[in-house]
Structure 1
Amino acid sequence: MSDTDSVRKGRVYDPDIEHAFPDERLNEVLETVENDAEIQAYLDAQNVNPVTRKRYNDHGSKHISIVRNRALCLYDLLKAGGVTFNGAGDQGLAEADESVIIALAATLHDIGHVVHRTDHPYYSIPLAADVLDRLLPDFGWYDVEERVRLKGEVLHAILCHHTAEMPLTLEAGVVRVSDALDMEHGRSRRPYEQGGRGINTVSSQAIREVTLRAGDDVPVVVEIEMTDAAGVYQVDTLLKAKLTDSGLEDDVRIVAVTTREPDERLVERVEL
């Protein structure tokens, strides 16, 4: 798939095209993150516990790239659809900070895996806080109070991505939903080849492609192409669960279709 197709299908955020939100701050933040040695080291190290030791799905740099890209594409579609976000605004921050919150939370949400897979969001909080305390002063547009408020919003989104805590902002809801949008078969290739046969690994093998697009009667439609009914676990148990109580339930529709031959299908279409 070409880069143009990826952008068109809502899979890759392109900083060089026009967006439905102010993107100058975001694009500078993204460039800084990509060149930050500590952050990149975390993204590699955080994959050891889930993949190498537990034979679980990828949670390293590739996962983070996919989640961040889809979070920003989801946010862009929601903004284009007229959805009003509240996280930055409640804190008196600028509209341009909505996407910064989403991008930083998506980047740092899984670094707690360097401690343990179990309860990793709670370990991510202090580690991410340290990174943000170092990183945010480098951006000249934030004073001390704004850095505190922005950090709080990023940490809120990190905490709510994989816990019982309900997101209180739509920025956090976007990160929560986008974490589950990384479900395609490539994510489970390494643990599958190593003998991992847990339901997350097997069900990921059945997902061929995930696409985000503008809907006719909702801002966003998530289209999921499955090759086997096992993919329903990813759609119903994981993605639906994260969409529930995200604040985006009325703005996002999920459609999953099985692409196998008709006589081989156990499930043809799932719509949530």
Structure 2
Amino acid sequence: MQGGAVQDVEGRHSELPATGEHGKRVVEFTTPRAKLIEEASLAIRADLAEFPKALAAYEALRSDPEALAHWDMSNYITMRKLGYNDHGRVHSFITGAASLAITELLLDAGVKPDLMESGVGDADDVYLTVILGTMLHDIGNQIHRVGHEAHGVTLALPILDRIMGPLYPDVFKRTKVRSFILGSINSHDLNPPPLTLEAGITAVADGTDITKGRGRKAFSLGSVDIHSISALAVDEVVIEKGRTMPVLINVTMNNSGGIFQVEEVLAPKVIRTPMRRYVELRATTRPEGDEQILSRVRLEGDHFVMDLEDGERVQVEVKDSQKKAQQAVVENLGIGGQRS
């Protein structure tokens, strides 16, 4: 993606395990919960093997009883009370693995995240920031879905201080690094939009968790809506090196209904974050899937270009409902254009 434009990448790649070929991750949600967490954990450890602080922080987080309780209660509220997709342990581990894959591709391409650009820290600090911020991003849901970003910041503080204390004896530096983590948690759902590349990585990694396994549990619990149904139409999400940009996110659907997930969940998190300049996004349907309404979708700027089966090409604006809602509030309050 360059300036928000996504280009096609030739060819497809066979599925690899989470710890497979450098620069490539396949996110497939069709196996039992414990196995998903185990596979994601293996991928995370492999990515952090050369970064001692980040690895130590991850090991502390994955077994932290407070974090484990936060993930479980967040899942209880979102799935049992709201009928949403998974927002608990599986989601945190899967998005954690995705965030490290994205980070690795960016650093390999010579991109400097804000933590490095500002002089606060090095690559080890970046990986620590990304894994902690991403894995803790949704814990605020246990209080309420409304305002869960800010709730998450409050709930994460004691965990971060407990984990980071032994790793950063210098309080001055620890506080600075922590600010990047809190920013990632606070802006992962684009409300407000992320300002740092680290926060953008967390948001995009969160957006990649759109495959069928995540929707299957909500569907089985009786949540039959566009979110759960469209999630069942997404077979896999592959994160790999792009041809023109550092990161390619390739979404494979078994039915074109999965485009809802791409448009409503993933695309806005690419468009409205600092990741916009570094990501290519592509969605395709499997030829053997259900009736083919469309064969290919490309994100170009703020619009989707859809190639229909009859050869027609349609261009539509991405429906960023959160952004429109925020704009409506500003207009109704009559404060547009004023800044303090």
**TM-score normalized by the length of structure 2:** 0.74
Cα distance in 2 for partners of 1:240, 1:133 equals 33
Q: Is the 8 A contact 1:124 1:158 kept in 2?
A: yes
- Cα deviation digits, residues 131-153 of structure 1 (max 9, x gap): 212221132x4411112112211
1:6 correspondence with 2:33 = no
What is the aligned partner in structure 2 of residue 176 from structure 1? 203
Give the drift of 1:32.
Answer: 1.2
Task: Output the amino acid matched with 1:192.
Answer: F
- 3-state DSSP class of the match of 2:90? helix
Give the drift of 1:30.
Answer: 1.2
1:255 correspondence with 2:282 = yes
Q: Across the two proteins, how many residue pairs are aligned to each other?
A: 267
Which of 207, 220, 240 aligns to 1:193? It is 220
- 3-state DSSP class of the match of 2:159? helix
Cα distance in 2 for partners of 1:174, 1:34 equals 20
Give the drift of 1:91.
Answer: 5.8
Which of 203, 214, 237 aligns to 1:210? It is 237
Which of 87, 108, 112 aligns to 1:59? It is 87
What RMSD in Å do the two structures reach over aligned CA positions? 2.0
Give the drift of 1:60.
Answer: 0.4
Matches within 5 A, 1:22-171: 23-90=51-118, 92-139=120-167, 141-171=168-198
- Note closer, same or farther for the CA distance 1:176–1:263 as it changes in structure 2 (3 Å cut): closer
Task: Output the amino acid matched with 2:264.
Answer: T
What 5-or-longer segments of structure 1 have no aligned partner?
Answer: none
228-237 or 88-97, which deviates more: 88-97
Q: Is the 8 A contact 1:88 1:153 kept in 2?
A: no
Q: Is the 8 A contact 2:16 2:25 kept in 1?
A: no
- Cα deviation digits, residues 65-119 of structure 1 (max 9, x gap): 1110000011101111221111354262233211111111011111101101122
Q: Is the 8 A contact 1:46 1:59 kept in 2?
A: yes
How much identity, in percent, do the aligned residues show? 29
- Cα deviation digits, residues 149-174 of structure 1 (max 9, x gap): 12211110111101332222111110
Task: Output the amino acid matched with 2:174.
Answer: R
Q: Which has the larger radius of gyration?
A: 2
Give the drift of 1:245.
Answer: 2.4
Q: Is the 8 A contact 2:120 2:177 kept in 1?
A: no
What is the aligned partner in structure 1 of residue 323 from structure 2? none
1:233 correspondence with 2:245 = no
**TM-score normalized by the length of structure 1:** 0.92
Q: Is the 8 A contact 2:115 2:177 kept in 1?
A: no
- Relative to its length, the structure with more helix (as a share) is 1
Q: Is the 8 A contact 1:227 1:259 kept in 2?
A: yes
Q: Is the 8 A contact 1:91 1:149 kept in 2?
A: no
- Cα deviation digits, residues 16-49 of structure 1 (max 9, x gap): 4688xx5222111111111211111211111011
